[in-house]
Amino acid sequence: MQLLCQQAAEQYSSFRLPYQLDQVFLAADIADLKQFSGPDYPTVLGEGTNTIFLATQHKPVLRYLAKAISQHADTDHVLLHVEAGHNWHQLVNWTIEQQLWGLENLALIPGSVGAAPVQNIGAYGVELSDRCSYVDFYDWQRREVVRIPASECQFAYRDSIFKQQLQGRGVIVALGLTLSRQPLPVLDYPGLKELPKTASLQQIFETVIQIRQSKLPDYRQLPNCGSFFKNPVITERQFQLIRDGYPTLPGYPQADGVKVPAAWLIEQAGFKGVVVDNVGCYQKQPLVIVNYGLVDSAPLLTLIATIRSTVMRRFAIELEPEVRLLNGAGQHHVPT
């Protein structure tokens, strides 16, 4: 176990606000995790691409770094066991090299493997839950690893048991992913529909990367945490009422209603490309909030609250942040 003190938060969050982390623990394996005892456990952090520190963190932060891959194969399928510290995009790239189908639509999503099931990452018609077989979870209280089948992870749109009942109760240490040796193309999403049905694994992978790079800013050049708000799901009646006034409103039928793009709502509310006090919505994708040189979190919190209140006033839809916003005590904070 390595302990780092007084670390600059910019190194641990892709939004790069200039705060400090009092203590950062780097755990290499399960034995390191067993060194912690309650009742207070550290804040678990992946690569920080979905976390914004709103203040100096007085609560310790923990990163789990193990990243080995093992595989168990049958004729057509391969079960990968991947430790949580592995970088997600590097994993996807590795599966392409191995000619394994299943993760190509999830290319270029930033972050670690361990963070992927927390919000059930997804893109271009595929979600992690479509490929996940199990999650290995180190339980703080039991002081052991528990294997949770995917069917018990309560996966939903950008949600899981790890954001709900198990939040703060342990550390994801590994995933089981079932991939295919046979073609498994998912092309029913704008941008991929133009590809031939016989598109190769490499073609799909490269197309997803091109689409993402054309729309989203590189967080290494413009600090951001990707999509800031979840796409809300509203009732069919509410969707039709809004569409009476806004005929161009896109909608995607779901089991529990209609999903509408948060980016469309934010653009209609007038925030696309708007920058105030060094923070604003990206000009190519208003769902992405960019740090253009913030010295503290106050302008960001004001912008979040203003976007949410404006969308609520205009459309009666509440936007929920997808990004984790941590106050100084390590607690999630949603400005209103």
322 is catalytic: yes
Amino acid code (one letter) for 8: A
- Burial category of 180 from C-beta neighbours within 10 Å (exposed 0-12, middle 13-18, buried 19 and up): middle
Question: Could you tell me what percentage of the chain is helix, strand and coil, using 3-state DSSP and rounding each to the nearest 5?
Answer: 25, 30, 50
Place of tokens 């992690």: 128
- The one catalytic residue in 16, 63, 131, 158 is 158
In this structure, what token pair is assigned to residue 96? 């392409």
Cα angle vertex 119, ends 115, 122, to 5°? 95
- The one catalytic residue in 227, 297, 308, 324 is 227
Task: Determine how β-strand 170-180 pairs with β-strand 132-139.
Answer: antiparallel
- The one catalytic residue in 47, 127, 322, 324 is 322
Cis amide leading into 39 (omega within 30): yes
227 is catalytic: yes
Give residue 336's Cα distance to chain centre. 22
- Judged by phi (left if over 0) then psi (alpha if -120 to 50, else beta), residue 257 lies in left
The set of catalytic residues is 158, 227, 322
